[in-house]
Amino acid sequence: MNKKRVYQISQEVKKSLSDIIQNKVKDPRIPEIISVSHVEVTNDLSFAKVHISIFSTDVEMDEVLEGLNNAKGFIKKELSKSVKLRAMPDLIFIGDESIELGIKMAKLIDEVNNGDK
- Check pLDDT > 90 for residue 103: no
Domains in the chain: ranges and CATH: 3-116 (3.30.300.20)
Question: Is 43 in contact with 6 (CB distance < 8 Å)?
Answer: yes
Q: Is 5 helix (H, G, I), strand (E, B) or coil?
A: helix
pLDDT grade for 104, boundaries at 50, 70 and 90 = confident
Q: What phi, psi does 105 have (nearest 5°)?
A: -65, -40
- Check pLDDT > 80 for residue 100: no
Of 93, 117, 111, the residue nearest 29 (C-alpha) = 93
Per DSSP, the residues of 39-66 read EEE-TTSSEEEEEEEE--SSS-HHHHHH
